């Protein structure tokens, strides 16, 4: 059944890479499994200028493609709060097309995790405006669309343990 939604993932990421819906679904599970130990199994090496950031994790969600090359996924370990694992999915086109790509990615994630499609929060499009949030196994997953002034956008999938 997951193979049937493979085209949705390609549309959502605008990626030329081959689509593997099973790999995306398995990747979501891997991120959720890693949340409660601060994403230790995903981290990779820390940024030498700021030991809170891991810009080159060992694991990237399939289909992740950042707006800035090489910045597809990262782990952030803030002092005193929950760790975060974030992956970006680049999109381009009209505002409506970019929002539709975000919505498609969220539908794919909800399908993979066997949860209902969450409602979109109110808010303007932009940095986390108009987000989706849902919780799976005590891990909060947030999806928001960040539109850049010079064109293009990215949907970020952000994972963090519920505290």
DSSP state of 5: G
Q: How far apart are CA 92 and CA 153, in angstroms?
A: 6
Which pTM value belongs to this model? Answer: 0.81
Q: Is the pLDDT of residue 1 over 60?
A: no
Mean pLDDT of the chain: 80
Q: Is the pLDDT of residue 119 over 60?
A: yes
pLDDT category at 27 given cuts 50, 70, 90 is very high
pLDDT tens profile 31-65: 999 999 999 999 988 888 888 898 888 899 998 88
CA 100 to chain centroid, in Å, comes to: 15
**pLDDT given for residue 6 in this prediction:** 40
* Sequence-distant (≥ 6) Cβ neighbours of residue 94 within 8 angstroms: none
Q: What are phi and psi of 157, to 5 degrees?
A: -100, 120
Comparing CA positions, the residue from 55, 92, 102 lying closest to residue 77 is 55
């Amino acid at each position: 059944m997951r193979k049937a939604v493979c085209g949705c993932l390609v549309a959502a990421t605008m990626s030329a890479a081959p689509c593997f819906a099973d790999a995306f679904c398995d990747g979501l599970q891997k991120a959720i499994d890693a949340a409660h130990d601060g994403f230790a199994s995903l981290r990779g090496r820390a940024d030498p200028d700021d030991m809170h950031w891991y810009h080159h994790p060992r694991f990237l969600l399939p289909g992740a493609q950042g707006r800035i090359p090489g910045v597809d996924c990262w782990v952030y370990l803030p002092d005193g709060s929950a760790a975060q694992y974030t992956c970006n999915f680049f999109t381009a086109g009209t505002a409506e097309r970019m929002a539709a790509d975000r919505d498609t990615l969220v539908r794919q994630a909800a399908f993979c995790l066997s949860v209902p499609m969450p409602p979109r929060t109110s808010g303007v499009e932009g940095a986390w405006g108009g987000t989706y949030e849902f919780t799976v196994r005590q891990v909060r997953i947030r999806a928001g669309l960040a539109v850049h002034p010079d064109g293009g956008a990215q949907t970020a999938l952000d994972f963090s343990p519920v505290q």
